[in-house]
Structure 1
Amino acid sequence: MHDVFIHPSGQDDNLGDSALRAGLLRAVGRNTYRFHVHLEGQTSDYLAGIPLSGSDVVYETQREWATALSETARPIYLLNAGEVNPRPGHSFPGAGRIREMRRTRDRDGVVIAAGIGLKTPSTADSVDFDRTLRETDVMSWRDDVSRDAAGFGDSAPDWAFHLGSQPSAWAPPDERTLLAVTLRFDRPWPGDPWLTAVRDVASRTGTRVATVAQVARDAPRAVQLADALGGEYLVAASTRHDDLDSHVRSVYSRSLAVVSDRAHALIMGATEGAYPLGSATDPNKIRRLLDIAGVGSLTGDHANFGPRAAGLDSELPALPRAIDSARLQLQALTQRIQTAIEAHDA
């Protein structure tokens, strides 16, 4: 039994944060792995989205988790996946993570950093990336821009692409009756031209607008959007992340496309066969996360949403191949992780 140490924390009400960590844990495996997890401060809603089993160990405090790491022979250390925001002029990772990674090395363990992305790649030149990160057994970024800015490691799509339905099970485009829409609560209202363009897409494709909220704080914005677009806000049965995941995937599986500035709404939509129409005040982050999977061509700012969305019909046929390709990249990354672990077993 391999002992895997990870602290898969994220924003407590953000389904995307638990989904990408769930993708990582499910990819690493289950049969011979026991996860040692520290999730201090996370609510039961968030925990419901993290796939743990009866053999896994959940620690109430960071101190208990770190003690177990230091007492385990040949541990496997997984750096938490997701967005990171190292400060210019400072070291990354922080001192605590560096100590944990060095402790793993001291115990003849394996250090894996797979699926992290820089919030602001343009500042990477002024960040001191510690040698513990550069010398991990596997180092993979979740977008090409982060990899190029850091100057080391490889890249593969976000772990959330690992989840979702198989393209062979998707409903065909002509049976999809919804146009899913969800926007961040903390960005400016997109304005009348954008609303008109979204209504035009729904009219042209014979779909009806359905709004959802993958982040609890987005719910008031989803209600506003439904009213402004003449659509319907579809609310989940609860805020538990497993319930919310099932709910939004059900909506996306019936949607021709997803219109959003939430990266993981677009990714999860794509993995259920709904083409990602990324639209944001600043689309750089979501474009990076979609481009590596080959589904970012219709993503941009709010102002040019209409002209971009006109290309939906021509892009739809390529979506199944793109998702298959993204998952093959993640399978290759998973194999690299397993190979690194097996090499330490030899």
Structure 2
Amino acid sequence: MHSGGSTARRRPRPTRTFVSLTGPAGNLGDALIRRGTLDWALGTSDELVAYVGGAPDVWLQQLGVPTDAIVLREKSSIARWLWMLATAPRRPVLVFEAGEVPLDRGNGLRELVFLAETLLVRLKRGIVVRPPRAVRAATQPSLWLHSTAAKASQFALWRDGTSRATTGGSRLAPDIGFAAGQRPGLLWDERDELIVSLRGKRPVPDKEWAEALKAFAAAHELRVRTVVQVREDEERARELATMLDGVFDEWGDRDAVAQEALVRERYDHARLVISDRLHVLILAALSGAVPVEVVADPTRKIADSFATIGLTGLSADAASLSPDEITAFLTKQLTRADEVRAAVAAAEARLDETEADIRSAIEAARA
């Protein structure tokens, strides 16, 4: 017999997943894609570490962050995040945020830190996941650092072809918001609303645009409603309701969870939703409404993102169209409901396959 008695095996240290989930609680679109990011991280390790920045408690509720997660807040906790990453057991998982990444001047240090985190996880033989993202205002050295970190990640996805080309990436994927699941909504013949939700920081649309929308709504017996998906757009929604002789749904004192439920219910009743915000249109499409961007001088963001799922021709520059042409454009979009539903279903299936690939890669790394 051994004098020390039987030896017990050491229990393996718990595996650990790190996920970044920052964002303002007043932006339902940000909550949508952060929730999708969290879904990809859940269940991949024994421990979940979530960095949420300065987000309030309602943000955790919106996203469904588990109560047993280690939640790190404010910039003061970044040092702890980095320490936990450095001391994590081998084969950790690091999941970055989905969404748009600014790479203008002043972001170089941030991108350098993200590159260091990526290389650290790879040295530990872990898995790095960058859900579908887009880049804007790309400058050096931020772009080089971001592109290098993406290439060092096992999963680096781009939600539009322009961002993929800018970074030298290879994998195109639908915006993660499309993974939220389709809603049945009302039957098409029962839908009786045209919903409008525009950015508050853009110029107010002109009278010709408003007259075109009113003529379209009247011709198709649709009630005009303005909704607020980003709190800072509330005053613009009020103005638009007045311009369009429509109904205004204020956000008011409602918390973000209740506001999201209300807005999504509104989309369930809409035939068309007009917006210059990408995730307004994604949520609208998930509810079976046809998403449309018809504003003056639109960016390529919405057109490029929907092109990734095979939907083109949803955007038009109102500044170059007469009121009759705007009305004709909107009327044409009404014929696309089945096309939109099919494209959204295919996008969700692609994202499900990607998530399955990620989980398989994590299991293989730890086998």
Q: TM-score, normalised by structure 2?
A: 0.86
Does residue 292 of the first structure (1) align with residue 318 of the second (2)?
Answer: no
Does residue 216 of the first structure (1) align with residue 198 of the second (2)?
Answer: no
Shift of the 269–238 alpha-carbon distance from structure 1 to 2, 3 Å rule, reads: farther
Secondary structure of 1:139's aligned partner: strand
Shift of the 216–77 alpha-carbon distance from structure 1 to 2, 3 Å rule, reads: same
CA distance in 1, matches of 2:23, 2:337: 32
Q: TM-score, normalised by structure 1?
A: 0.91
8 Å contact kept, 1:105–1:111: yes
Shift of the 219–141 alpha-carbon distance from structure 1 to 2, 3 Å rule, reads: same
Q: Decide which moves more: 244-253 or 55-64.
A: 55-64
Alignment correspondent of 1:342: 363
CA distance in 1, matches of 2:19, 2:45: 16
Q: 2:65 aligns with which of 52, 59, 71?
A: 52
CA distance in 1, matches of 2:338, 2:241: 28
Alignment correspondent of 1:5: 18
Shift of 1:200: 2.0
Shift of 1:107: 2.4
Alignment correspondent of 2:86: 70
Secondary structure of 2:121's aligned partner: helix
Does residue 145 of the first structure (1) align with residue 162 of the second (2)?
Answer: yes
Secondary structure of 1:128's aligned partner: helix
Shift of the 164–202 alpha-carbon distance from structure 1 to 2, 3 Å rule, reads: farther
CA distance in 2, matches of 1:149, 1:69: 29
Shift of the 127–223 alpha-carbon distance from structure 1 to 2, 3 Å rule, reads: same
CA distance in 2, matches of 1:262, 1:248: 14
Secondary structure of 1:293's aligned partner: coil
Alignment correspondent of 1:80: 97
Secondary structure of 2:274's aligned partner: strand
Tell me which amino acid in the other structure corresponds to 2:22: S
Identity of aligned pairs, percent?
27
CA distance in 1, matches of 2:171, 2:312: 20
**Unmatched runs of 5 consecutive residues or more in structure 2:** 1-13
Tell me which amino acid in the other structure corresponds to 1:220: E
How many residues align? The count is: 343
Secondary structure of 1:324's aligned partner: helix
1:95-120 C-alpha deviation (Å, 9 max, x unpaired)? 11122212212322111112111124
1:205-260 C-alpha deviation (Å, 9 max, x unpaired)? 22101111111110000011111111111234745332221111010001111111
CA distance in 2, matches of 1:35, 1:188: 43
**Unmatched runs of 5 consecutive residues or more in structure 1:** none
Shift of 1:278: 1.1
Alignment correspondent of 1:205: 220
CA distance in 2, matches of 1:82, 1:176: 31
Alignment correspondent of 2:288: 273
CA distance in 2, matches of 1:5, 1:126: 23
8 Å contact kept, 1:181–1:210: yes
Alignment correspondent of 1:315: 336
Shift of 1:324: 0.6
Q: 2:208 aligns with which of 182, 188, 193?
A: 193
Alignment correspondent of 2:278: 263
Alignment correspondent of 2:9: none
Tell me which amino acid in the other structure corresponds to 2:286: T
Shift of the 108–263 alpha-carbon distance from structure 1 to 2, 3 Å rule, reads: same
Alignment correspondent of 1:106: 123
CA distance in 1, matches of 2:46, 2:259: 27
CA distance in 2, matches of 1:124, 1:343: 36
Q: 1:39 aligns with which of 49, 52, 58?
A: 52
Shift of 1:29: 4.0
Does residue 329 of the first structure (1) align with residue 339 of the second (2)?
Answer: no
Structure with bigger gyration radius: 2
Tell me which amino acid in the other structure corresponds to 2:180: L
8 Å contact kept, 1:44–1:240: no
1:149-164 maps to which residues of 2 (within 5 A)?
149-164=166-181
Secondary structure of 1:195's aligned partner: helix
1:103-142 maps to which residues of 2 (within 5 A)?
103-120=120-137, 127-129=143-145, 130-142=147-159
CA distance in 1, matches of 2:232, 2:65: 26
8 Å contact kept, 1:18–1:241: no
